[in-house]
Structure 1
């Protein structure tokens, strides 16, 4: 029987050497050590069978086909954090308790700001353009905290939890006291939701309504994680390289900052601004233009997003939201005309919250970023325990081949 070295096996499967060892640990390949040759070897027939299986399944042999996770189950009926129903958590817990649940630590995560890291975070925010979005400021503050933290590379679970807690607490405190976002300082000794409020309100000189903090607290819980969303996959890819917590969060923020993911609540806010004056007219204008109506539809839920149901039910019980809820109901009814329209999702509920409590138009994006940081860290903790560099999709090259006419003409033009 013919045997291949680790390097030859990796080349045949189109993967890295580390992935070959991961395949062996998962029982996909059998490692054999010979008496005359150092290192592991693998039966060529077994390697060829694995390569063929990858081709037949249509899945690239050099990528992680499935990411096993114990964090969040996303399915119709609502997401569950480690087996606990998220809608119920939103009614009874805060982000501090949910972070402890997702990070598997006892009690609650304090999210205390680090004075040594707060100064550089505030300095970089003071230098930011006045018109920078709240999430732009969030990203800047994360980068400043990373640059000022000399021990950020420690990937031990306890150190990761301490670093992440300090990171989010410091960034929120810096944002709350940032004159470019809101005038007042953070609320000392309060929970993260209350401390975040100054960065969310449109008018910093106007005290938020008593119900605002409760709605924000619930929204943070609902948004803490949602399984393997695009930004979470990006965060896990970064974690697979043993990138530090700040880099993991930055990777997640990069994927979050798109109109198909974390920015949808802002688009829904703009749509509701038009709909508050004329719900049928605003909806008709979008449909006539063939545009997607923001705040509707979800790739997982067949019906209404359970997170939207929680937030909208809270607003229904809030007299300050009567006009906004009536507008949302009218738009939802219009979208469901005929009984087969897309249902409301959490972005529409966030937009309703922003209008009902006079929050900034980008407040939903900031809520998303703060809350999902907790989820990204949970996935990083899980990913740090996996074999490194395991995300290696096989590319399908479609450009000119060496020696082809296209390459020849390209070379001629370059000369």
Structure 2
């Protein structure tokens, strides 16, 4: 598929809504969104059935969109994509202009997800999955080996859910949002319940997820911490997994496939799996009684200290700060909190590295009797909502715009054929 060429700029020529939409590479309804924002002017011709648009004005908008919306080189050579979802600025981050930590403190994960998707708050909303879909997904996931990692289970669950959905190729906003509201609880339902856990199949998502991460009884403070962790992690601008999702959506992959792309990237030790490394470090600190030998061993092995520092925040990660504050209200979290503070204080003797959300997640998972993979699972479930938000945004952009050019550095042609 080729990108659409700009409309011809012949003087006085006017384009129909359909022609304008094709030139811009958008849906017809998006054309009228441009009109409402003052980016295009329309005119209804006498006796005509629809609006028309000035070809030169359309061509100018095409050029501007290509300049502003396409993936381009930003400061430091990094990729930059225009988005209205998340802003990270001065050790704070915002969802659609609203302080994200305040949103997570005052609203459930599902409510924050709805805000991210639509810019509207739906108080008390919960996500549920049809029993028939859950049954199909569980059969697929149950066929996996017992030692299968949770993220592998989530990927298989997303594929199985897609195969069961005949409307998956409908990329309209209404259809994609319907997919999201079913897919997220389906992912949770695909995780095996923990032994002796009292698990729920309804109610807030955090309550359903708890029994699939630990066999310990849930108290209100711990459930609040888990729900807030999900809301805090729902999105974080163009992280590696989110960029993968946008590339998939740019090629018009359906929402399940876009989420699968994100799940594939999230397993990296520098992304979603980072909390597992912090989890094991905290367990080591608790067993040895001090962070000093643990930190020394990490540095001797040439590894960076997990759970410390973040390239987007000069100070403490605001997500960590918010989650630590909630964990202080959980009595059984005190030993892990003290271990985390010991890690921060020990490394501060030589360099100032603040705690990031991976360390806070590790305190939650260690103190709740969860496995080391639990942080990655929480991260993946939470971030699915953010991936859907970015996929929706990308579906409204010009198709295949995520197509950077390669900088070839191999042998210059023509080279002789290999013998």
The TM tier, using the shorter chain, reads 0.7 to 0.9
Q: 2:366 and 2:262 mapped to 1: Cα distance?
A: 27
1:243-289 Cα deviation digits (max 9, x unpaired): 11101100111111101111100111111111112311101111233
If the length of structure 1 is used for normalisation, what is the TM-score? 0.81
If the length of structure 2 is used for normalisation, what is the TM-score? 0.80
Q: 1:67 and 1:348 mapped to 2: Cα distance?
A: 29
- Indicate the residue corresponding to 1:123 in structure 2: 139
Q: Does structure 1 retain, via aligned residues, the 8 Å contact 2:244–2:261?
A: yes
Q: Does structure 2 retain, via aligned residues, the 8 Å contact 1:209–1:357?
A: no
Cα deviation, residue 85, structure 1:
1.1
Cα-Cα RMSD: 2.9
- The gaps in structure 2 that reach 5 residues or longer are 13-18, 24-54, 57-63
- Is 1:393–2:407 an aligned residue pair? no
Q: 1:139 and 1:269 mapped to 2: Cα distance?
A: 23
Q: 2:235 and 2:366 mapped to 1: Cα distance?
A: 24
Q: Which runs of 4+ in 1 moved over 6 A?
A: 39-42
- 3-state SS, counterpart of residue 74 of structure 1: strand
- 3-state SS, counterpart of residue 92 of structure 2: coil
- Indicate the residue corresponding to 1:9 in structure 2: none
- 3-state SS, counterpart of residue 212 of structure 2: helix
Cα deviation, residue 392, structure 1:
0.9
Q: Does structure 1 retain, via aligned residues, the 8 Å contact 2:153–2:190?
A: no
Cα deviation, residue 17, structure 1:
4.4
Aligned with 1:194 (options 197, 204, 207):
207
- Is 1:335–2:351 an aligned residue pair? no
Q: 2:197 and 2:157 mapped to 1: Cα distance?
A: 17
Q: 1:94 and 1:312 mapped to 2: Cα distance?
A: 18
Q: 2:111 and 2:200 mapped to 1: Cα distance?
A: 19
Q: Does structure 2 retain, via aligned residues, the 8 Å contact 1:311–1:349?
A: yes
Q: 1:159 and 1:334 mapped to 2: Cα distance?
A: 51
Q: 1:186 and 1:381 mapped to 2: Cα distance?
A: 32
Cα deviation, residue 208, structure 1:
2.9
Q: 2:130 and 2:199 mapped to 1: Cα distance?
A: 13
Query: 1:2-401 residue pairs with structure 2 within 5 A?
Result: 17-18=2-3, 20-21=5-6, 31-33=8-10, 59=73, 66-104=80-118, 105-108=120-123, 109-175=125-191, 178=192, 186-201=199-214, 204=215, 206-276=216-286, 277=288, 278-338=290-350, 340-401=351-412
Cα deviation, residue 220, structure 1:
0.2
Alpha-carbon spacing, 1:65–1:174, altered in 2? closer, same or farther (3 Å): closer
1:10-66 Cα deviation digits (max 9, x unpaired): xxxxxx841654xx7xxxxxx44599xxx9999xxxxxxx9xx9xxxx949xx9963
- The gaps in structure 1 that reach 5 residues or longer are 1-15, 25-30, 43-49
- Indicate the residue corresponding to 1:402 in structure 2: 413
1:113-155 Cα deviation digits (max 9, x unpaired): 1222111111011111111111111111111101111111111
Q: Does structure 1 retain, via aligned residues, the 8 Å contact 2:221–2:329?
A: no
- Indicate the residue corresponding to 1:12 in structure 2: none
Equivalent pairs, count: 363
Q: Does structure 1 retain, via aligned residues, the 8 Å contact 2:128–2:182?
A: yes
Cα deviation, residue 170, structure 1:
1.7
Alpha-carbon spacing, 1:298–1:65, altered in 2? closer, same or farther (3 Å): closer
- 3-state SS, counterpart of residue 79 of structure 1: strand
Q: Does structure 2 retain, via aligned residues, the 8 Å contact 1:173–1:185?
A: no
Alpha-carbon spacing, 1:149–1:344, altered in 2? closer, same or farther (3 Å): same
- 3-state SS, counterpart of residue 3 of structure 2: helix
Q: Does structure 2 retain, via aligned residues, the 8 Å contact 1:224–1:371?
A: yes
Alpha-carbon spacing, 1:144–1:311, altered in 2? closer, same or farther (3 Å): same
